Amino acid sequence: MVSEGEAFCPGHATAFFEVHEDPDPRAKGSRGAGLSLSLGVRTVAKVREARRSSLDIMVNERRQKAEVTQRVVEKLTGSRSLEIKILSETPLPVSQGFGVSAAAALSTALALDEALGGGLPRDELVAIAHETEVECATGLGDVVPASLGGMDLRWKPGAPGYSEVRTFPVQADLLLAVLGQEIPTKSILRDAPKVATINRVGGALVDEFSRSPSFERLFDLGNRFAEETGLANRTMLEVIRASRMFGRATMAMLGNSLFATGNSEQLASLYRKFGTLQRCEVDNEGARVL
């Protein structure tokens, strides 16, 4: 008999952050601030007993190796002999700062746990997804805020049990614009001088945001972070400045992309000149079993 579970995890866009190193992947992570997105990853997990274990992962109807998803499955099933199918769908681009790997990890954990009979506490499933992202070097801080939804202030890094995250409900329409080639997170996180600059700038901005967190300040401080760290190229900075005529925009970390709010039609007209565009809202629910 086949057991099935289905879950959704919002994407997540970070405006600014600070890297926190730790040998324990559950304690490692980032402090920062960002938004959960109504676009994310929807995953169906199908499980049945089998004499020999097998795992089939499909992303947007294409078979993928998907290391993050594979590791989450291994952590949840251990040595049990199971035939498992993971079917994930997302409209979001990868390696563009929209938290796709985190959403894949957490939606897989929730859906697979449901298919297996719902044996693990939610915090443990979130911790497994966070730990896996850290081990695969695909991200540091998207899983926990995406599990909660809204606008987030990640005050302490890590998985549940280590992290401290404040969330704020926000009703807002967003535009997500991709302006250039993807930026693999690993390439930034393994560059020590870049990380030192990120931490110097990002740490101060997290402290500043914590004193007066608001939707508007998220964008203002995000722009300072993008500029002062040198993560934003000339095109990104020009498009962000042009956006001020119609609303607010800031770079999505870490991607050659931005998220924006304001006069949607005017902003969309601007962004279409540079790249691809998607519309969504802030997701205030967080990751959930469907």
Edge-to-edge strand ranges of the sheet holding 257-262: 247-251, 257-262, 173-178, 276-281
CB neighbourhood size of 117 (10 A): 10
Going by C-alpha positions, the residue among 93, 216, 102 that lies closest to residue 151 is 216
Whole-number pLDDT of residue 199: 97
Which of the residues in the chain have pLDDT under 50? none
Considering only CA atoms, which of 97, 103, 165, 105 is closest in space to residue 131? 105
Chain-centroid distance, C-alpha 281: 15
Q: Do the strands 164-168 and 82-89 form a parallel or antiparallel pair, or are they unpaired? A: unpaired
The DSSP call for residue 252 is P
* Number of helices (H), then strands (E), in the chain: 9, 12
Question: What are the φ/ψ torsions at residue 220 (nearest 5 degrees)?
Answer: -60, -45
- Dist CA 272 CA 74 (whole Å): 41
Q: Mapping DSSP to helix (H, G, I), strand (E, B) and coil, where does residue 147 land?
A: helix
Residue 104, pLDDT score: 98
129: nearest Cα among 188, 44, 71: 71
* Closest C-alpha among 88, 109, 99 to residue 14: 99
Task: Provide the pairing of β-strand 29-49 with 54-59.
Answer: unpaired
Alpha carbon of residue 284 to chain centroid: 14
Which pTM value belongs to this model?
A: 0.95
Structure tokens belonging to residue 233: 């190229």
Query: Where is 79: in which H helix or E strand?
Result: none
What was the pLDDT predicted at 286? 98
Domains of the chain: 1-290 (3.30.230.120)
